[in-house]
Copies of this chain bind each other. A is one copy, B any other.
Amino acid sequence: MSRLDVTEKIIATKVAKGIQWGDVAKKVGLSKEWTTAACLGQMTLDARQAGIVGEIFGLSDAEQKWLGVVPYKGSLPTQVPTDPLIYRFYELVSVYGTTFKELIHEEFGDGIMSAIDFKMDLQREPNDAGDRVSITMSGKFLPYKTY
């Protein structure tokens, strides 16, 4: 058994039972973004969270233990993702990557936006010309220091 096995079981159960990520998140009591990433094998759950997730998806004790193990992260099978939805995010990094860099350095100096001390929120943004996906990201700025 591995974390991957547990992730696959969660996904299969979700399809079979028609479970919604939003409902899982409400029961766990955290954001849908973090909860979904955790169920997809990218985050680590504590015992209470694993218990709730385990009940929803019918996981054994052994499987719940795996939810508490820090996973080997990275959810994509190739360096450049082939799925069109995910590729668009890769394209944003490709097209706007140097823009992110210039503007963050102009505002903060040398350093990065943390992808660890990070949270995000994804919402539907109603719009007459067609609804939009709105994503707000917030990551701590970490400065390079001299030493």
Please give the residue numbers on chain A whose beta carbons come within 8 Å of chain B beta carbons, in ascending order: 1-2, 8, 11-12, 15-16, 18, 20-22, 30-34, 36-37, 40, 42-44, 49, 62, 65-66, 69-70, 72-76, 78-120, 122, 124-125, 127, 129-147
Q: Quick one: copies of this chain in the complex? A: 10
- Whether B137 contacts A65 by the Cβ 8 Å rule is no
- Whether A116 contacts B144 by the Cβ 8 Å rule is yes
- Whether A131 contacts B137 by the Cβ 8 Å rule is no
Given known A75-B95, A103-B122, contact A139–B133 (CB-CB < 8 A): yes
Which B-chain residue is minimally distant from A82 (CB atoms)? Answer: B74
- Whether B106 contacts A21 by the Cβ 8 Å rule is yes
Show 26 A/B contacts (Cβ-Cβ < 8 Å), sorted by A. Answer: A20-B106, A30-B146, A34-B147, A37-B95, A40-B102, A42-B96, A70-B101, A76-B82, A76-B93, A83-B101, A84-B95, A84-B112, A85-B111, A85-B112, A86-B97, A86-B101, A87-B91, A104-B133, A116-B143, A117-B143, A117-B145, A129-B140, A131-B141, A132-B140, A132-B141, A133-B137
Contacts of A83 in B (CB 8 A): 72-74, 97, 101
Contacts of A127 in B (CB 8 A): 140
- Whether B70 contacts A110 by the Cβ 8 Å rule is yes
Given known A74-B95, A88-B113, A116-B84, contact A135–B133 (CB-CB < 8 A): no
Which B-chain residue is minimally distant from A22 (CB atoms)? Answer: B106
Determine how close the nearest CB of chain B comes to the CB of A99; give it in whole angstroms: 4
